[in-house]
Chains A and B, each alone.
Chain A
Amino acid sequence: AQSVAQPEDQVNVAEGNPLTVKCTYSVSGNPYLFWYVQYPNRGLQFLLKYITGDNLVKGSYGFEAEFNKSQTSFHLKKPSALVSDSALYFCAVRALNSGYSTLTFGKGTMLLVSP
């Protein structure tokens, strides 16, 4: 069975500072990995994904994530945080060989960026 762990319920960072939101995963075979963001009273919005290739994936709004196979991690990063980045972030994994596009999500990490 596949699983995702987001060890931090909340991450606090000052505007302009770099941010990292952590994610580790467990899956049989090669993973598809995703980050989604949820703003208040909204659905989940796709940020970026890793399938294969370059371990550093660039996504929307200046976010990027680094796939690390040995550490089974896929941490989300941004060099300079904005107050508008404050939201709930979800990491998700899908096994490459599963028959359907079912994702397993983490419980989410709330990112709070202070002015």
Chain B
Amino acid sequence: ETGVTQTPRHLVMGMTNKKSLKCEQHLGHNAMYWYKQSAKKPLELMFVYNFKEQTENNSVPSRFSPECPNSSHLFLHLHTLQPEDSALYLCASSPSSGTETQYFGPGTRLLVL
């Protein structure tokens, strides 16, 4: 409904697994973002991509690895995660850097066992 889709919607993985989250936006935007949402905590910005270039890495552990092959697609590669990484991972996009309104996808609910 918002033009930003995320797959999968739910993911359960063990600590030794490798998985990837996918985000796609159909809005013609040039900036994309990954956020982590944990209960009772503010949204945590993880990564920002602007015109496919990573412009911000908010001190995210290396077990999270983003990839932005083009302005419409954003991936978050996951490996050797910890149980505390369980959260809702939200993708967002905006027309370009300096443009304020971000549009969010529905999120991927991740559970790390």
How many Å from the CB of A104 to the closest CB on chain B?
8
Establish whether residues B98 and A43, one from each chain, have CB atoms under 8 Å apart when the complex forms: no
Establish whether residues B48 and A100, one from each chain, have CB atoms under 8 Å apart when the complex forms: yes
Q: Which of B84-113 contact A (CB under 8 A)?
A: 90, 92, 94, 96-107, 109
Smallest Cβ-Cβ distance to B90: which chain A residue: A43
Chain B residues positioned under 8 Å from A103 (CB to CB): 45, 100, 102
Q: Which of A30-62 contact B (CB under 8 A)?
A: 32, 34, 36, 41-46, 49, 51
Chain A residues positioned under 8 Å from B99 (CB to CB): 101
Establish whether residues A101 and B98, one from each chain, have CB atoms under 8 Å apart when the complex forms: yes
Establish whether residues B42 and A101, one from each chain, have CB atoms under 8 Å apart when the complex forms: no
Given the interface pairs A100-B50, A101-B94, the reply to whether A49 lies near B105 with Cβ below 8 Å is no
Chain A residues positioned under 8 Å from B40 (CB to CB): 9, 107
The CA-CA distance from A36 to B56 in the complex, in Å, is 22
How many Å from the CB of A109 to the closest CB on chain B?
11
Establish whether residues B43 and A90, one from each chain, have CB atoms under 8 Å apart when the complex forms: yes
Question: Footprint of B on A, CB under 8 Å?
Answer: 4, 9, 32, 34, 36, 41-46, 49, 51, 90, 94, 99-108
Q: List, sorted by A's number, 13 A–B pairs whose CB atoms are closer than 8 Å.
A: A9-B40, A43-B4, A43-B90, A43-B105, A99-B97, A99-B98, A100-B56, A101-B102, A102-B33, A103-B100, A105-B43, A107-B41, A108-B42
